[in-house]
Structure 1
Amino acid sequence: MTPRADADELTEQPRVPLSRRRVLRAAVGLADRDGLGSLTMRRLAQELGVEAMSLYHHVANKDAVFDGLVEVILGEVMAAVEEVEAPSPEKDWQGALRARILAAREVLLRHRWAPRVLESRTTGSPAFIAYMDHVVGLLREGGFSFDLAHRALHVLGSRALGFTQELFRPDGAQTADAEAAAMMERMADRYPNLAGMLADAVHDDPDGTLGFCDDQFEFEFALDLILEGLERRRAAAS
């Protein structure tokens, strides 16, 4: 009679082989959960349940992991951009580009650490080049010359990928109303213009605080200004 198999053997699931893709997806998950600073080869190996040395068969070092993060994030961006509902660029290039940029932004809002990586590692990345080629193609379909499309990329900067460096960090700590009033009072003599701006913002939104910036609103406001300005230039050159 054939010996009865052990119950553990029957329920044991086969181990998923380690691969570069699996390593990078684990790195994204770790950064999403614990922040970019948590991403070390040791922590990544623990996340995958392997020895750290096993990782080096798939990623040469930590720099290679960060290069891979760019690939993963931009891959998600391209997928989101391709799926978004938007007008054709021939009919409405502003609407077409705006929808794609906001789709890219949704990806980056899921991975709030991603801008730090993208800012330092996009040069020469095939995924980055492919995305920017897509943007230029859309502008060309919308009637842009190569020269104006070139300038549009400079004006858009990182905003083309859905993020920007903000002068005021909207995700910072919120300041209580009493503290906001005291801060404005201290600032009034030395920095009258900033104090006036902040006082006006609080007056318009009396329940608000010095953390009054709506990150999404400010992003879309600036994006629309850029797109409207580019359209005036495009129309004038036609």
Structure 2
Amino acid sequence: MSASIAVPPGDLRQRCEATSVRTAAGDAVYEDGAVVPAGPWQPLTDDLCHQLTPSADTADATLVELVRAADIKPHLLTAPHVTALGRADSYPNAATTTPNYADGRRIGLHLDNWDKLDYENKARGRRRLCVNLGPGTRYLLLCNIDIQAICRAVRPDYATCYPHTDDLRAYIAAGLPLTCLRIRLAPGDGYLAPTEYLPHDGSTAGYAEPSTAAFWLGHWTRGAFSPPLLARGGEAG
């Protein structure tokens, strides 16, 4: 299944670009085997926009939505299903942002595993809410293919496995196709994304200011943080 992004295609084109990926090796910045954007970034094609458009049947738990901090009501962050994950500071001009805290090297595009779900249930995990607190602009990086499809391609035992970032790395090492998307988030912008289901990371590439992001996990329904970020014609700088 492809990623599904609940933003009108014309608006998505204004803030989203795409590229292929590569495997890092012998790089002091990245773990060996890390999957990273290859560049250069390109505008979205008509076909890719169509693939990313959700349908009425798209499950809420697998949907990507964009939000504004100003539209987040306090009760949405204090419901029983919500877990606050804290904040993360990102250096400026970083192609990806998440480090391996054991040695400081970045892990590249990866899969979250807060809910410890197996293959069968991976699409039912909580979505992550992220808000860019600034001062700099940042990106959400997303792979266009979900981890269940990736596991089916590389694991004979996929039906009983617990999907992992290593499965993404095996998929790319096998030369299989994958597109990385980047969605621009100005300070005050945020996203809801199934980060247990879609490989992802953050990025501050091309921006001279650092960025701090705040994170929560929860089972929010589609449109809970409406009005959507771009439905009102807003555009991040």
TM-score class, shorter-chain normalisation, is: under 0.3
Q: Which has the larger radius of gyration?
A: 1
Relative CO higher for 1 or 2, CA cutoff 8 Å, sep ≥ 6?
A: 2
Normalising by the residue count of structure 2, what TM-score does the alignment of the two structures yield?
A: 0.20
Normalising by the residue count of structure 1, what TM-score does the alignment of the two structures yield?
A: 0.20
- Structure having the higher helix fraction is 1
